[in-house]
């Protein structure tokens, strides 16, 4: 099979993602599975347009308008006034309606009268549910202290309750998947280098060259970010993609570096060493802004092109070609910091290398480089700080993970739950997160949950974690509540200097007995003895006060079609005191390498391939698996397998397979093989988030393979405590037989 032939297919996948996908096209995506019924949204006659929506089908939060007929939302569109996503929304944004009206959604408070993991649900009143939650959590607090409660939050609605448990109740034991299984390493690595978290602030629209390491834009869709990337390509930016897989981005690249997984730091070190040895770095920027250049130069001097070529399993000439391309286009180069970067347990060093390369190219504060937009200021309202119990911080007690992001590393919490050391954790609050499919080795999460005195979950949908709740509370969705302030600058901030402020406003009323996070948290707080600390009485009041800090109000925003736009500031330039720590003494003093260092990963054992995973353009991990439109677009997560390997194994495209990992853990469900030359022989790939087990999910249950369940070997990043999740090796199983994957 030639790469050229498959390219078209990959581009098709990418175009699926590129904003506002016609639904008919979505439904016609290929797969070998029977599709579930699809209902078209209906005609537009008799509808009114409601402004002020903010999408939360993913965290990017595009600005929406809703078309409402007979009090029913019939269509979602991008807000034409938006200077961020504009009128575009992606397939998932479109399908928000199917989440809103999903018949499987949580409707009433429920009590588990069966077992955790095998629940039997009984509908109860809010009064009874809140009384029981508060009494059980209070009992844990009184017996074990506030640190006896752990919390796993996710999403905009989880911030207010998270602050309640951290600041009013006083537990450190809060673990956000978005930090400890996703971007936390990136943030702390950049803070340790630039003293600022990078977000995704690279000016790709104005870049002359873009370097993506493991980012697969096109499959990874965040509308305004994707617009920036596509604008850059349209303007002629050279694209380098480093990925073991021929991703949607690799399909558009000038150079595709098909790297061996886990070795990216060696690749980056060799590029930086080459730039220094050949005087191709930005000496003026380094002299003005970089500290520790001598230690840095010495520390990476071993990283020759040949050294890296052997480690990364790529030609030395290709590393040189990439280095030359970056140097030729410097400083207008976007080195993308990545987002989900928790890969191999050596990632802090890799992300430090991203930041150092950016500095060596002088690609900071310039067009096309790392540029922090200057957005408007809006003051957040939440629980007052200062009630933390500092004596029970697990990180400090263990004297580990000195560069961890805010909160507590998940493994420290799970270990304390299971061993009772250094202290027991007996109460658990899970709000919008699904730790069964966000945290690796779910078997360990089950063990941690089974020993709890009390578990409560709050969510919009049932998920695999809600099967472990004692009390399960139904939350209003992002289309039914006030909530998040979205602010920022024009998507292509180079063209126009404008800022925007918008606030999430309900497009329709919440149905059944669903409630928002402020109401639920405040009712809990009153029952747990914290009524005196409640900062606001309603979510609407919270938003009103936050807007007031920027001289706005809900009424004003409504008058302005949901988005206030004001003049912005030129984002370019670097302040004189901006400092880059190429060598960081604090890191070294804490016992880690102060200069970015490559730490080797375990080799793939014979007969296996490394399991890597990524995003689907039409799903947001596990959260959208029950959405019937999105299910129809991609019902399972095909397993990418090298075509030569597949030939030798007797597998063909579309064959149904399951998986077993090198520790003997088998996938519960099956998927299909995607035979392709576009993946290394030592690697298999699939989209993350499939394989739900909850029988309440009548669409998504049993669809595809759950990658997280196969991730049983976790490598914890030593500096940050984040979970490295690409260290597992798998075989494919066909008709009950595990097949060796040829070397
Ligand atoms: S990128 Fe798509 S899913 Fe994410 S917020 Fe925007 S429209 Fe919603």
Q: What is the DSSP string of 472-490?
A: EEEB--TTSS--PEEEEE-
> How many whole angstroms from 56 Cα to the centroid of ligand 1?
7
C-alpha angle 527/529/531, rounded to 5°? 85
Six token digits for residue 680: 């290394």
Between the CA of 560 and the centroid of ligand 1 the distance, in Å, is: 22
Measured distance CA(711)–CA(715) in Å, rounded: 10
Q: How many CA atoms, within 13 angstroms, populate the side-chain half-sphere of residue 612? A: 28
> Measured from the CB, is residue 630 less than 6 Å from ligand 1?
no
Cα 484 to ligand 1 centroid, rounded to whole Å: 14
* Pocket test residue of 92, 483, 619 for ligand 1, highest count of atoms within 8 A of CB: 92
Q: Which value, to the nearest 10 degrees, does the dihedral of the CA atoms of residues 197, 200, 206, 210 take?
A: 100
Note the pLDDT of residue 496. Answer: 77
Dist. CA 608 → ligand 1 center (Å): 36
Provide the sign of the torsion angle of the four alpha carbons 272, 276, 281, 284, taken in this order: positive
Residue nearest ligand 1's atom 1 by CA: 222
Are 367 and 382 in a shared domain?
A: no
What distance in angstroms lies between residue 90's CA and the mean position of ligand 1's atoms? 6
Q: Which of 379, 489, 548, 373 is nearest to 82 (CA)?
A: 489
For residue 54, the ligand 1 atom closest to its alpha carbon is 5
Residue 696 in any domain: the answer is: no
Q: Are 308 and 449 within one domain? A: no
* CA 623 – CA 741 distance, rounded (Å): 32
Do 403 and 301 fall into the same domain? no
φ, ψ of residue 730 to 5 degrees: the values are -135, 160
Q: Which atom of ligand 1 is nearest to the CA of 64?
A: 7
Task: Report if residue 677 sits inside a domain.
Answer: no
**Ligand 1 neighbour 62 (Cβ under 6 A):** yes
Upper half-sphere CA count for residue 412 (Cβ side, 13 Å): 28
Q: How far is the CA of 10 from the centre of ligand 1 (A)?
A: 21
Mutate to test the pocket of ligand 1, among 76, 221, 689 (most ligand atoms within 8 A of CB): 221
Could you tell me the distance, in angstroms and rounded to a whole number, from the CA of residue 219 to the centre of ligand 1?
13
Q: Is the CB of 90 under 6 A from ligand 1?
A: yes
pLDDT value of residue 391: 84
Q: Tokens standing for 479? A: 């289309």
SS3 63: strand
Q: Determine the atom of ligand 1 nearest the C-alpha atom of 221.
A: 1
Would you say the CB of residue 412 lies under 6 angstroms from ligand 1?
no
Residue 615 domain-assigned (yes or no): no
CB 101 within 8 A of CB 627: no
| Ligand 1: centre distance to CA 618 (Å) | 10
Assess contact for 211 and 229: CB atoms under 8 A. no
The residue range of the domain holding 222 is 197-371+574-589
Helix (H/G/I), strand (E/B), else coil: 62: coil
Q: Ligand 1 in contact with 226 (CB < 6 A)?
A: no
User: Residues 102, 105, 107, 111: what is their CA dihedral angle, to the nearest 10 degrees?
Assistant: 160
Whether residues 406 and 474 share a domain: the answer is: yes
Distance 712 CA to ligand 1 centre (A): 31
One domain, residues 357 and 402: no
Q: Indicate whether residue 341 lines ligand 1 (CB < 6 A).
A: no
| Residue 680 domain flag | no
| Residue listed under structure tokens 């959604």 | 105
Burial per residue of 398-430, b for 16 or more beta-carbon CB atoms within 10 angstroms, e otherwise: eebbbbbbebbbbbbbbbbbeeeeeebbbbbbb
Cα gap 581→292, rounded to integer Å: 6
Q: Is the CB of 58 under 6 A from ligand 1?
A: yes
CB 234 within 8 A of CB 247: no
Instruction: Assess if residue 406 is contained within a domain.
Output: yes
Helix (H, G, I), strand (E, B) or coil at 536: coil
CA atoms of 476 and 469, how far apart (whole Å): 18
Protein residue with least CA distance to atom 4, ligand 1: 58
Residue tagged 């970056």 (tokens) = 326
Do residue 165 and residue 257 come from a single domain? no
Top mutation candidate among 59, 86, 155, 223 for ligand 1, by most atoms within 8 Å of CB: 223
Which residue's CA is minimally distant from atom 6 of ligand 1?
62
pTM of the full predicted structure?
0.93
CA–centroid distance, 199 to ligand 1, in Å, is 17
Claim to verify: residue 166 and residue 215 sit in the same structural domain: no
3-state secondary structure 712-728: CCCEECCCCCCEECCCC
β-pair type (715-716, 723-724): antiparallel
CB neighbour class for 532 (10 Å; exposed up to 12, middle 13-18, buried from 19): exposed
Q: What element of type H or E holds 122?
A: strand 121-123
Q: What is the Å distance from ligand 1's center to 338 Cα?
A: 18
* 78 Cα nearest atom in ligand 1: 7
Q: Is residue 102 in a domain?
A: no
Structural domain contains residue 532: yes
Are 335 and 354 within 8 A, CB to CB?
Answer: yes
Distances (CA, A) of 58 to 157, 163, 221: 13, 22, 9
Q: Largest alpha-carbon pair distance within the chain?
A: 71
Q: Which atom of ligand 1 is nearest to the CA of 57?
A: 3
Euclidean distance between CA atoms 357 and 276, whole angstroms: 11
CATH number, domain with residue 226:
3.40.228.10
Contact 265, 345 (CB under 8 A): no
- CA dist 640 and 631 (Å) reads 19
Does 76 sit in the ligand 1 pocket, CB within 6 Å?
no
Q: What is the SS3 string spanning 661-685?
A: ECCCCECCCCEEEEEECCECCCEEE
Residue to probe by mutation, ligand 1, list 23, 54, 55, most atoms within 8 Å of CB: 55
* Ligand 1 pocket member 89 (CB < 6 A): yes
State whether 312 and 231 are in the same domain.
yes
Omega before residue 46 within 30° of 0, cis? no
* Residue ID of nearest Cα to ligand 1 atom 5: 61
Domain count, the chain: 2
Show the beta-strand stretches assigned E in 236-370: 238-242, 255-257, 290-291, 333-335
Protein residue with least CA distance to atom 8, ligand 1: 93
CA of 60 relative to ligand 1 center, distance in Å: 6
The Cα–Cα gap between 383 and 237 comes to 46
Q: What is the whole-number distance in angstroms between the Cα of residue 166 and the centre of ligand 1?
A: 29
Examine the domain organization and report whether 207 and 139 are in the same domain: no
Cα–ligand 1 centroid distance for 88 (angstroms): 9
Same domain, 211 and 340: yes
Distance from the alpha carbon of residue 541 to the mean position of ligand 1, in angstroms: 26
CB 435 within 8 Å of CB 465? yes
Q: How far apart are CA 301 and CA 254, in angstroms?
A: 28
CB of 486 closer than 6 angstroms to any ligand 1 atom: no
Q: Is 60 near ligand 1, meaning CB less than 6 Å away?
A: yes
Cβ(57) to ligand 1 under 6 A?
yes
474 in a structural domain:
yes
Domain of residue 447, CATH code:
3.40.50.740
Are residues 251 and 290 both part of a single domain? yes
Neighbours of 664 (CB within 10 A): 8
Query: Cα–Cα distance between 557 and 542 in angstroms, integer?
Result: 15
Considering the domain architecture, whether residues 414 and 340 belong to the same structural domain is answered as no
pLDDT averaged per 10 residues in sequence order, the chain, 743 residues: 36 37 32 40 72 96 96 96 97 98 98 98 98 98 97 97 96 95 96 95 96 96 96 98 98 98 98 98 98 98 98 98 98 97 96 98 97 94 80 94 96 98 98 96 97 98 98 98 94 83 97 98 98 97 98 97 96 95 98 98 97 96 96 97 98 98 97 98 98 97 96 96 96 98 92
């Amino acid at each position: 099979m030639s790469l050229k032939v498959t390219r078209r297919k990959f581009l098709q996948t990418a175009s699926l993602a590129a904003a506002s996908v016609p639904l008919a096209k979505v439904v016609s995506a290929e797969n070998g599975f029977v599709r579930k019924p699809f209902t078209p949204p209906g005609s537009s006659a008799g509808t009114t347009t409601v402004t002020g929506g903010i999408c939360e089908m993913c965290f990017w939060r595009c600005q929406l308008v809703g078309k409402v007929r007979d009090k029913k939302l019939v269509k979602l569109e991008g807000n034409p006034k938006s200077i961020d996503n504009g009128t575009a929304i992606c397939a998932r944004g479109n399908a928000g309606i199917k989440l809103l009206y999903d018949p499987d959604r949580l409707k009433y408070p429920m009590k588990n009268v069966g077992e955790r993991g095998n629940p039997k649900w009984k509908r109860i009143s809010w009064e009874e549910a809140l009384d029981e939650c508060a009494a059980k959590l209070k009992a844990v607090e009184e017996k074990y202290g506030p640190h006896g409660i752990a919390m796993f939050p996710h999403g905009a609605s989880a911030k207010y309750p998270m602050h309640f448990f951290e600041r009013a109740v006083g537990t450190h034991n809060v673990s956000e998947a978005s930090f400890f299984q996703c971007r936390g390493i990136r943030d702390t690595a950049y803070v340790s280098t630039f003293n600022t978290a990078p977000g995704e602030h690279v000016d790709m629209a104005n870049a002359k060259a873009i370097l993506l390491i493991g980012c697969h834009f096109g499959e990874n869709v965040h509308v305004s970010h994707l617009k920036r990337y596509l604008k850059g390509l349209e303007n002629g930016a050279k694209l380098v993609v480093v990925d073991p897989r021929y991703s949607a981005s690799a399909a558009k690249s000038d150079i595709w570096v098909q790297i061996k997984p886990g070795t990216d730091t060696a690749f980056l070190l060799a590029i930086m060493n080459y730039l220094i040895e050949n005087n191709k770095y930005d000496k003026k920027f380094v002299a003005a802004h970089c500290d520790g250049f001598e230690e840095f130069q010495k520390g990476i001097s071993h990283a020759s092109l040949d050294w890296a070529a052997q480690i990364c399993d790529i030609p030395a000439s290709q590393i040189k070609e990439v280095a030359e391309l970056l140097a030729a286009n410097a400083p207008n180069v976007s080195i993308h910091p990545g987002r989900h970067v928790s890969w191999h347990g050596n990632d802090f060093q890799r992300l430090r290398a991203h930041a150092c390369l950016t500095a060596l190219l002088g690609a900071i504060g310039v067009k096309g480089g790392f540029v922090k937009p200057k957005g408007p200021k809006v003051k957040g309202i939440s629980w007052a700080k200062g009630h933390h119990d500092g004596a029970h911080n697990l990180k400090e007690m263990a004297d580990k993970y000195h560069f961890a992001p805010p909160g507590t590393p998940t493994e420290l919490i799970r270990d304390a739950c299971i061993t009772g050391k250094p202290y027991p954790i007996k109460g658990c609050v899970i709000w919008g997160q699904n730790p069964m499919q966000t945290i690796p080795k779910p078997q360990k999460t089950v063990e941690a949950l089974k020993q709890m005195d009390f578990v409560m979950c709050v969510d919009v949908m049932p998920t695999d974690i809600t099967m472990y709740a004692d009390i399960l509370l139904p939350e209003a969705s992002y289309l039914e509540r006030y909530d998040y302030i979205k602010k920022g600058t024009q998507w292509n901030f180079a063209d126009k200097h404008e800022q925007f402020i918008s606030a999430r406003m309900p497009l329709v009323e919440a149905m059944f007995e669903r409630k928002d996070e402020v109401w639920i948290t405040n009712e809990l707080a009153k029952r747990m003895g914290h009524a005196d600390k409640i900062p606001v009485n309603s979510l609407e009041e919270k938003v009103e006060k936050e807007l007031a800090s920027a001289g706005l109000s809900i009424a004003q925003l409504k008058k302005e079609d949901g988005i206030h736009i004001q003049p912005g500031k030129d984002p370019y330039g670097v302040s004189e005191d901006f400092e880059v720590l190429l060598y960081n003494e604090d890191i070294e003093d804490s016992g880690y390498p102060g200069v970015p260092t490559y730490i080797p990963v375990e080799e793939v054992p014979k007969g296996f391939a490394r399991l890597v995973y990524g995003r689907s353009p039409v799903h947001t991990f596990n959260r959208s698996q029950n959405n019937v439109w999105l299910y129809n677009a991609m019902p399972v997560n095909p397993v990418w397998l090298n075509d030569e390997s597949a030939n030798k194994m007797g597998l063909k495209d579309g064959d149904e397979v399951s998986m077993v990992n090198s520790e003997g853990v088998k996938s519960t469900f099956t998927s299909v093989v995607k035979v392709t030359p576009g993946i290394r022989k030592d690697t298999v790939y699939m989209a993350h988030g499939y394989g739900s087990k909850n029988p309440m999910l009548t669409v998504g249950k049993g669809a595809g393979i759950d990658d997280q369940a196969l991730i049983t070997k976790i490598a914890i990043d030593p500096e940050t405590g984040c979970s490295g999740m690409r260290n597992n090796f798998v075989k494919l199983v066909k008709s009950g037989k595990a097949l060796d994957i040829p070397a």
